[in-house]
Amino acid sequence: MAPSKGVKTLYEWLEEIVIALTLVVLVFTFLFRVVTVTGESMLPNFVEGQKLIVTNLGHSVEQGTVVVATNVLSEPIIKRVIATEGQTVDIDYETGTVYVDGEPVDETLFGLENGITTRPYSMLEAMVFPQTVPVGCVFVLGDNRSVSKDSRYTEVGMVDTRHILGEAVFTLYPFDRFGAIE
C-alpha cells in the first residue's frame, strides 16, 4: 500500500530538517566555532561572556589579529597577536611599551588608548626579553595586560600556530557589540 500524501509530506519535511541540521553541524564543526570569552584579559575590547564566531577559513595570523588558541592552558585562550615568526619582541616594563623589531607597537590601533604592558605578577614565571619568535609560532598578549596570562609567561610562551583554532571575526552577543570584529 502506498503512503498517503500527508505521510509522504511528513517524510519530506523530516528529510529536509535532517539535511539542514547536518549542514549546520558540519559548518560549525569545520568552518566556524562559537567561543565564549572568559575572564578580563581582553578588556576593554572583549567582555566576560561575549560570544564570538571564530573561523580558520582563510585566516592569516598577523600582527593585531585576535586569535583563539588551544593546548596552551586548560581552556582555549583569546589573545591578540603581537609578533609573528622571525620577529623580535622586547618589553620595557618601566614605560609599559612593547617593541617589535625595535619599533614600538601602536596600541591605539587595537583600541587601547592607554595601552600599558605591566610587569608579570610572578617574575619567576616570566620570559626574559628580548625574544625572537620561532618559526611556526606567534607571540600573543591580552589587551588588559595587568591581568592577562599570555606569551610573557613561560606557562603560555610562544603559541604554536598549529594550536590556533582561528581568528575571531564576529560578535554574536552581547547585542550592543553585535557585528564584525575590526
| Measured CA angle at 59 (ends 58, 61), to 5 deg | 145
pLDDT digits (tens, 9 = 90+) for 118-131: 555 555 577 889 99
Between 73 and 120, where is the model more confident?
A: 73
CB neighbourhood size of 56 (10 A): 15
| Residue 171: pLDDT over 70 | yes
Structural domains of the chain, with CATH: 34-180 (2.10.109.10)
Question: Global pTM?
Answer: 0.82
pLDDT tens-digit map of 4-37: 666 668 888 899 999 999 998 888 778 899 999 9
Q: What is the mean pLDDT of residues 95-115?
A: 82
pLDDT digits (tens, 9 = 90+) for 144-160: 888 888 999 888 999 99
* pLDDT for position 126: 79
DSSP, collapsed to helix, strand or coil, labels residue 5 as: helix
Cα–Cα distance for residue pair 146/136, rounded to 1 Å? 27
136 secondary structure, DSSP code: T
Query: For 28, phi and psi rounded to 5 degrees?
Result: -80, -5
DSSP 129: S
* Cβ count within 10 A of residue 62: 11
Q: Identify whether the C-beta of residue 98 lies closer than 8 Å to the C-beta of residue 144.
A: no
